[in-house]
Amino acid sequence: MSAPTLTPSTPSTRARDRRGFKARRWFLATGWRHLVGWVMIVFSVFPLLYVLSASLNPGGTLLSSNGLFSTIGFDSYTKLFNSPQQPYAAWFGNTLTIGLITAAGTVFLGALAAYCFSRMRFAGRRVGLLTLLVVQIFPQLLAVVAIFLLLTGIGDIFPALGLDNQVALIMVYLGGALGVNTYLMYGFFNTVPAAIDEAAKLDGASHARIFFTIILRLVAPILAVVGLLAFIATTNDFVIASVVLVSPEKQTLAVGLYQFVSQEFSSNWSVFAAGAVLAALPVMALFLFLQKYIVGGLTAGAVK
């Protein structure tokens, strides 16, 4: 029996082995992260592409949109603005108005409350902070019946704050958004040195002047984050808006778009997708406008 012969390794073989070893080491160290990242990108982008393809498909059904961008047309976008029974332009304007006013009011009231909790010492301060945190445990859906009955009673006395009124809806949003936003702002306000307040007080500045001229400029990142989150939450809300607003011309996009797919025999998913694409534009524009504040505001606001 002859002994097995060993094949001598050549320089090219050794170089190939080194490249394979480096590739395996790179994949184990960082390569798998790129793979996970690409999977998450596909997972996130595919629904957006599917909705965009459905909005450009004149078929009116989602089954005909399985072939992405197989047929392209803008009929669905024109139908959005040509239906008197479904005033999309009014819904769009109502959503922007309610969303912007709610975001501005949430930022202002939340900043006032956070400044008081951060800079002032008073009885019930810790209990108040804990209460704001505990209240957020309960979903807002539990308060729908109470909100309906409350607005019905208030509407008998002050019609401007009753059902089917956008001012009443804004008030409901402002009351429900203060809890978590106040706590988030409170963490950011604590990162601002108290020595700045003391120096301003030595110069004769009051709490109001310190708040409006100094503190608000230093906490601009968290104000942008809270404003963005409030605008997104208001734009996406369906349950409370559908309970408070009844007239079609006063409804928001989330409530109005449901009419395109709620009817059993006349559902038009293509028009619904077109409306959803246009509804996402204000949120994207606001996000891009405030993006330089978002990262800093979220990370710093998480520090107590």
The model's confidence at residue 63, banded by pLDDT at 50, 70 and 90, is low
- Between 18-27, 99-108, 218-227, 233-242, the lowest mean confidence (pLDDT) is in 18-27
Kindly state the average pLDDT of the residues 233-245: 91
Q: Are residues 90 and 226 in the same domain?
A: yes
Chosen domain end from 19, 52, 77: 77
CATH number of the domain encompassing residue 151: 1.10.3720.10
Q: Per-residue pLDDT tens for 87-144?
A: 999 999 999 999 999 999 999 999 998 888 888 888 888 888 888 878 878 877 788 8
Q: Are residues 91 and 233 in the same domain?
A: yes
CA atoms of 17 and 297, how far apart (whole Å): 48
Q: What is the pLDDT at residue 104?
A: 93
Q: Are residues 93 and 180 in the same domain?
A: yes
The model's confidence at residue 302, banded by pLDDT at 50, 70 and 90, is very low
Q: Are residues 97 and 150 in the same domain?
A: yes
Q: Are residues 117 and 29 in the same domain?
A: no
Chosen domain end from 27, 45, 77: 77
The tokens describing 162, both together, are 């009753």
Within-domain flag for 278: no
Q: What is the pLDDT at residue 118?
A: 86
Q: What is the pLDDT at residue 78?
A: 86
Kindly state the average pLDDT of the residues 51-70: 72
Chosen domain end from 35, 50, 77: 77
Range of the domain at 124: 86-263
Those residues with Cβ within 8 angstroms of residue 131's Cβ, 6 or more apart along the chain or in another chain: none
Within-domain flag for 51: yes
CA atoms of 190 and 128, how far apart (whole Å): 16
CA atoms of 158 and 136, how far apart (whole Å): 29
Kindly state the average pLDDT of the residues 195-219: 86
pLDDT at 80 over 60: yes
Q: What is the pLDDT at residue 11?
A: 63
Q: Are residues 48 and 191 in the same domain?
A: no
CA atoms of 54 and 7, how far apart (whole Å): 61
Kindly state the average pLDDT of the residues 217-224: 87
Q: What is the pLDDT at residue 261?
A: 81
Q: Are residues 34 and 130 in the same domain?
A: no
The tokens describing 209, both together, are 């002047």
Within-domain flag for 272: no
Answer whether 174's CB lies under 8 Å from 106's CB: yes
Q: What is the pLDDT at residue 268?
A: 78
Q: Is the dihedral of CA 163, 259, 91, 87 positive or negative?
A: negative
pLDDT at 230 over 80: yes
The model's confidence at residue 194, banded by pLDDT at 50, 70 and 90, is confident
> How many other C-beta atoms are found inside a 10 Å radius of the C-beta of residue 7?
7
Q: Are residues 182 and 66 in the same domain?
A: no
The tokens describing 202, both together, are 């030595």
Q: Are residues 21 and 154 in the same domain?
A: no
Give the percent of the chain with pLDDT over 70: 85
Classified as helix, coil or strand, 107 is: helix
Q: What is the pLDDT at residue 85?
A: 83
Q: What's the DSSP call for residue 9?
A: P
Within-domain flag for 26: yes
How many domains does the structure of the chain reveal? 2
Q: Are residues 250 and 105 in the same domain?
A: yes
Within-domain flag for 173: yes
Most confident segment among 39-43, 257-261, 292-296: 39-43
Q: What is the pLDDT at residue 234?
A: 92
Q: Are residues 141 and 100 in the same domain?
A: yes
- Between 5-9, 208-212, 219-223, the lowest mean confidence (pLDDT) is in 5-9
Q: Are residues 92 and 150 in the same domain?
A: yes
Within-domain flag for 301: no
Within-domain flag for 177: yes
Kindly state the average pLDDT of the residues 50-59: 82
Q: 6 or 276: which carries more pLDDT confidence?
A: 276
Q: 131 or 64: which carries more pLDDT confidence?
A: 131
